[in-house]
């Protein structure tokens, strides 16, 4: 069994420090080890990025973009391999892993347009003979700290744009499933990134804190749980760094009585159980407006869930795989228990699931819970498992109030055919990403990803246009050329 190490200054290095086991959650077995970088190792990565910055910053944006074009190509050529690496350590089924990678590649595509995106604003004659313009200059060394649930995609939300904007980067992927991120970073180097422009360190809190404390790191992008996001944001901010920290979610769908219920059920099934619900945009609460809608929803969901298949990542016939760890499996099961104890109705129960041949895998079956109320633990907290809660509301207003009062404000959705209901909902709901008949309203790569309330700490969203602003700082130049007779021809025609 091998130990996954680090990628620093263009080379794989072992560094010093501790190691930790890697698991295959589909089988429950240890699949290898990963190094946990010491402070010194992380600092050497920062040093490499720091040294690579001046030359990379001065590389024309179109040349930087061309590396991204080649990177996209290499990602596509190696897509199958990457999907396998993702599945092995994360557990998601191959089609899901391929989908994740595709969304990541779309961020690389967006980074290919960086010459356009970096355009500054130019004003002639801000005063007589005075011109003024803004430039968006790169920050320097930027760090990214990414979660286990999208081991390939979330790093690709960050460094393609950061690097295309002229920064250099240190990535710390999740220590639970770091292999795909490291492999992908090597493809980025193969695409032409100079050594030191992109570095990957594996690690845990020691690595994170080193990134947060080192004064050479100018900015930190983070995706993970809300408590950690809050820690990262406050620490980075106190250290004078720019920071965006994305946290947890509890995404509600409102099901209006006029919705096409077959469409609701089809799309909710994927949105709730896909990737075992381990997505920050997973649709985990359905709020049915009116008992009739609720009853229909429950009935049709129950029928639909008969055919849901949970199992090993490598079998494309499965709908979703295991959760990430044994501990997380137990936590999810505990939420289902608590729901039952607190009075909800477990309509479809995924607790007893066993996958033949993979009995030690960390599986939880698709679970549907009706008559959930806001006081219940399962409602208040993010479950991050294949569990769909149904809450019954009397009116659209009441449904919206539920959403607005929840701690998180990442994504939400309404199912309706009515233009006015859709407009009222999207205008007023206190959530950053809103779907109208779209259960997973993840913005495409040319828009930006950002929740509201405690789902995002920071001013600017992830990827898309906001990433340009996050990874650059504005410089405004005001220029006047005093007339000193030099321009006049006579002087030139008859020089002294």
- The reply on whether position 132 binds a copy of itself by CB under 8 A is yes
Give the chain's largest Cα–Cα span. 98
Helix (H, G, I), strand (E, B) or coil at 138: strand
Q: What's the DSSP call for residue 214?
A: -
Q: Which of 33, 133, 326, 337 binds a copy of itself (CB under 8 A)?
A: 133
- The reply on whether position 426 binds a copy of itself by CB under 8 A is yes
Q: Which two tokens stand for residue 367?
A: 């679970």
Q: What's the DSSP call for residue 274?
A: G
- The reply on whether position 106 binds a copy of itself by CB under 8 A is yes
Q: How many CB atoms lie within 10 A of CB 397?
A: 12
- The reply on whether position 352 binds a copy of itself by CB under 8 A is no
- The reply on whether position 304 binds a copy of itself by CB under 8 A is no
Among residues 181, 179, 161, 186, the alpha carbon closest in space to that of 171 is found at 181
40, 111, 331, 450 from 465: Cα distances, Å: 35, 10, 37, 12
Count Cβ neighbours within 10 Å for each residue of 414-429 and write b for 16 or more, e otherwise: bbbeeeebbeebeeeb
Among residues 428, 385, 378, the alpha carbon closest in space to that of 403 is found at 428
Count Cβ neighbours within 10 Å for each residue of 352-362 and write b for 16 or more, e otherwise: ebebeebeebb
Stretch that binds a copy of itself, among 45-53, 143-151, 353-361, 387-395 (CB under 8 A): 387-395
* Site for a copy of itself, residues 265 to 284, rule: CB under 8 A: none
Q: How far is the CB of 404 from a copy of itself (least distance, A)?
A: 13
Q: Which of 135, 340, 404, 407 binds a copy of itself (CB under 8 A)?
A: 135
Residue that is written with structure tokens 């999207």 in the block: 426
Residue 280 is among the residues annotated as catalytic for this protein: yes
Pick the catalytic residue: 112, 165, 243, 280? 280
Helix (H, G, I), strand (E, B) or coil at 438: coil
Contacts with a copy of itself by CB under 8 A: the residue count is: 120
- The reply on whether position 258 binds a copy of itself by CB under 8 A is yes
Residue 425 CA to residue 130 CA, distance in Å, equals 47
- The reply on whether position 424 binds a copy of itself by CB under 8 A is yes
- The reply on whether position 134 binds a copy of itself by CB under 8 A is yes
Q: What's the alpha-carbon Rg for the chain, to the nearest Å?
A: 25
Residue with smaller CB distance to a copy of itself, 84 or 473: 473
Stretch that binds a copy of itself, among 322-330, 346-354, 372-380, 477-485 (CB under 8 A): 477-485
Q: How far is the CB of 209 from a copy of itself (least distance, A)?
A: 18
Stretch that binds a copy of itself, among 307-315, 342-350, 362-370, 427-435 (CB under 8 A): 427-435
Stretch that binds a copy of itself, among 6-14, 288-296, 338-346, 366-374 (CB under 8 A): 288-296
The residues annotated as belonging to the active site are: 280
């Amino acid at each position: 069994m091998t130990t996954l190490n680090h990628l620093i200054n263009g080379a794989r290095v072992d560094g010093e420090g501790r190691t930790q086991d890697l698991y295959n959650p589909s089988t429950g077995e240890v699949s290898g080890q990963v190094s946990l970088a010491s402070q010194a190792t992380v600092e050497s990565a920062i040093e490499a990025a720091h040294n690579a910055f001046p030359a990379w910053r001065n590389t024309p944006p179109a040349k930087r973009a061309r590396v991204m074009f080649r990177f996209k190509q290499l990602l596509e050529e190696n897509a199958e391999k990457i999907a396998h690496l993702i599945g092995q350590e994360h557990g998601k089924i191959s089609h899901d892993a391929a989908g994740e990678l595709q969304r990541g590649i779309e961020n690389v595509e967006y980074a290919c347009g960086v010459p356009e995106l970096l355009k500054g604003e130019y004003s002639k004659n801000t005063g007589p003979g005075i011109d003024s313009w803004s430039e968006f200059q790169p920050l320097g060394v930027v760090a990214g700290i990414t979660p286990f649930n999208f081991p390939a995609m979330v790093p690709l939300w960050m460094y393609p744009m950061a690097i295309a904007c002229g920064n250099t980067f240190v990535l710390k992927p999740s220590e639970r499933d770091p292999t795909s991120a490291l492999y992908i970073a090597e493809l980025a180097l193969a695409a032409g990134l100079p050594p030191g422009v992109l570095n990957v360190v594996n690690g845990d809190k020691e690595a994170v804190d080193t990134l947060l404390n080192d004064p050479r790191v100018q900015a930190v992008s983070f995706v993970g749980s809300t408590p950690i996001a809050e820690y990262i944001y406050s620490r980075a901010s106190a250290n004078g760094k720019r920071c965006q920290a994305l946290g947890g979610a509890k995404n509600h769908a409102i099901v209006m009585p006029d919705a096409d219920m077959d469409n609701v059920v089809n799309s909710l099934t994927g949105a709730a159980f896909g990737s075992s619900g381990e997505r920050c945009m997973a649709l985990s609460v359905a709020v049915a407006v009116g008992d009739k809608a609720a009853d229909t929803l429950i009935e049709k969901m129950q029928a639909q869930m008969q055919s849901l298949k949970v199992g090993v990542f490598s079998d494309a016939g499965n709908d979703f795989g295991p959760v990430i760890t044994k501990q997380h499996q137990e936590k999810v099961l505990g939420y289902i228990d608590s729901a039952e104890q607190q009075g909800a109705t477990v309509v479809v129960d995924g607790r007893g699931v066993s996958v033949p041949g993979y009995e030690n895998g960390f599986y939880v079956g698709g679970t549907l819970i009706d008559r959930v109320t806001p006081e219940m633990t399962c409602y208040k907290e993010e479950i991050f498992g294949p569990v769909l809660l149904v809450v019954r509301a009397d009116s659209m207003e009441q449904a919206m109030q539920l959403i607005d009062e929840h701690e998180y404000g990442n994504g939400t959705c309404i199912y309706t055919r009515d233009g006015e209901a859709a407009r009222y909902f999207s205008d007023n709901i206190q959530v950053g990403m809103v779907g109208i008949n779209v259960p997973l309203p993840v913005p495409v790569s040319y828009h930006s990803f950002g929740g509201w309330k405690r789902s995002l700490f920071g001013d600017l969203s992830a990827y898309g246009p906001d990433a340009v602003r996050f990874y650059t700082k504005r410089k405004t130049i005001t220029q006047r050329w005093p007339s000193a007779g030099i321009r006049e021809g006579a002087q030139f025609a008859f020089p002294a």
